[in-house]
Chains A and B, each alone.
Chain A
Amino acid sequence: MENVEKNQNFIVRKFVESTSNLGKSIIESVDGLGRFTRFILRFFFWVFKPPYRYKLFFEQFYFIGNKSIFIILLSGSFTGMVMAYQTYFGFKLISVDSLVGPVTALTLAKELAPVLTGLIVAGRAGAAMAAQIGTMKVTEQVDALEVMGINSIQYLAVPRIVAATVTVPMLSALFLFIGNFGSYMVGTKALMIDEAIYFQKIGEFMFLEDIWQGIIKATVFGFIIGSIGTYFGFQVTQGAQGVGKGTNMAVVWGMISVLVLDYFLTSFLIHIL
């Protein structure tokens, strides 16, 4: 009898504990979302206010853009090549292998170019943004800016977010171009699809709206990656460990946001474009 009562108490205690933990994590998530929203609103407040620090923008533009080009070229070309292979052998079974060109081009334009570019930039530049700002935070460099009367959001976050918003669609366009080139090379040179048919079918099935869809997505991804990277940088506390945690969070949430937003943007853009 006593054992049964003990077991019951244990179960009740565990239930209360897990419910309270669940509640705590829900409150923390809502709190975090609220702080992130406030951060975004502060970005929009400061982005239009002078002084406009073009030099800082171009530094970030160079860092995100130029330094990502090689990775984009490499991953873009191989993505296009593998897409051509996969679709060719599938399509050959139902004798529509002439559609390899448009299927690859459409998939790259609408999905793969913006999403993979977003993931690459989130992993590379998003992490770097969080680490740079986080290190500045723990070494009081952010405080030094504030004491001098310089708004740290305007000085550190604005150039990075704007640069990411501008650069990611450009990198995505490059990914699209090089991906198609890879697909063309494999399709026409290795798989012997007729070159004229390859291009004719792309012209038949692909429209400007498809490219726009990718550019809009990439722009949103750039904005969100920049915002998340800088936000987690500003959230850093507790020295080197905090910087590591902030960087990790920036990468994880940057990548998750790209994938989740991709679904919502697709369902929205399909209706308006």
Chain B
Amino acid sequence: MKTIYTLIVLIFAPFLVSSQSVFDEFENDDEVMSVVVTQKAFKLMSRFAPKGDKETMEYFEVIDQLNDLKVYVTKNTKTSDKMKLVAEKYISSKKLVQLMRMKEDKKNVMIYVKEGVNDDYVEELLMFIWNKGDGSQRQGIIVSLTGNIDLNKISALTSHMNIPGSEYLNNAKKNK
């Protein structure tokens, strides 16, 4: 009997460990532009680190600490509504703490974090931008970043990588 239990656990363990992220569904959505960078990539990138000026070295130090980066962008009304639902559900289920909230016109920007070892670091950062405007203004953006994230440095990196919403990240740190 014991062997059977062990077997069952062994068979199902991989599924539990590599549980799919809630945002994965957007990757296969035609209306969504997505970018996913994995931890392996960040680790490899940090191996490419040139020994150079301080600023570049700092970039690579930040990169080395990152796990996953996921960016989803849509202009579709239905999909952006769905993004909002998924993001809100995720925020409450993971008990993320709000770092910043901003509203201008029909645009909402929310940044949530999971607090890390100290004030400067967070384990997870989730940014959700939702524009309720009509037509071309309509937009939904989710940026999810996990790892050991230094809030002081991350906005410099994300803007360097051209990640949408980086400008808000910069403000978020100042407000904290």
A and B co-occur in one complex: no
- Which residues of A line the B interface, CB within 8 A? none
